[in-house]
Structure 1
């Protein structure tokens, strides 16, 4: 049963010309009450008018209605399709994308509130992704990729607008090692996923070789990645081209923001930022960028050690 918690609204600071759109992609409403409840609580705590857009794979869920929640059926397994459709339908001028696998506290209400008060067009990168809605529309929205869709979007957005990094844990949707070694898919699905990942990250053959070497990649995984690269040449989607591959570009912009302590501009949250990435991703990044040289043994990057 969906619950609704009422919080004292910050009446002195509510600005009704601003509206929030909170988005999550899920399999079904029935299995996602936890993330939806968290989104409601966080939105209520900010004091801003809001809407919640839930992209679901179950078409019958579109008949579901609850206060400010709008359900969007995507009829596809692609998370990117659900996000793109939600952005097109969003009526808020600020949008925040939530990960249904994460348990969110009300700390994120303070993070959202502080980010909005800055009034910047930079992307907020945390365990949520935040941005002015028009920014993502201006750079072309999410493209229909099965894997690496956030890398693809961030490459375009960060190139034009920049980023404020305030990570509070694992960067799941940007952890390329986890994407490469994800064995929850069938063999065919993994190859298609690697096709889209090489497109999203604009990986060249030398990038793949460097990645394989630094990650100590097994031959089977290397073959899947290379097969995906070959298939990318006949994909209708072309990479967003930069001098370096998009993954290095995005991750270097994130760590640069982190080292520069851009997060201090958001003064409504006291929790210290931290970055957690998988060991395979850390090995790759530290092999190609001095900014990502390992600072400690648990793959975390606390402010004091970066």
Structure 2
């Protein structure tokens, strides 16, 4: 394309934008506006909430792949919004390196936009470590990952937004309260692979999920709590998946904590700032 042709094209695009974005552009008469709105409305079918079989099948396939894994490791990056003093939200992030082995082993090492934290569960005890502050809390734990996650939340308000990825039956937590599910299409942008996009509503949370079309592993989960008047957004990115790889025997043992101060394995003050906390009745998933 010559310089002159390129210039003409830029001018045409600029004029087109001017005519479609208002300003001094001539506006269509009122009757034309009404006709356009009426046509647009009639062209868009009314959406009826329900469970689209294709969407449900994709969710079930992903959950089955996760449930079948005897061990897994992955990286979870969570970005969540929290209200600022101006009212508009700020975005904070955490990055967790996760290793799990069924039925009773879990390690989560987390870097935060705030204090870092480590969590170790070996089937008998769970240990929470604040490395920078040199603090450690240790408590007896039940014999399964699911029960240990519940105990960690109940006793210490410890919650992981990727919980539903590692529980024994991931689909059960989605199916509980599932009212809407529909297939959106495919993406070749997320997770450096082709993903199937599904949207669903469960337990009062709107979720859009990107699932690998071939490997059935989730790559991104986007969620909004429908009862949140601010409609704050929460995004979970999952990468570096490794399933059924051998795990070192000492992978779930906390490092030497002899110099750390012992604190109670207890919930923090109830007035802590909102964000990344599950709703009252739901520990699992919902990407908070």
Q: State TM-score, norm by structure 1.
A: 0.24
Q: Give the structure with the higher percent strand.
A: 2
- The structure with more radius of gyration: 2
The higher-RCO structure (CA 8 Å, 6+ apart) is: 2
Q: State TM-score, norm by structure 2.
A: 0.25
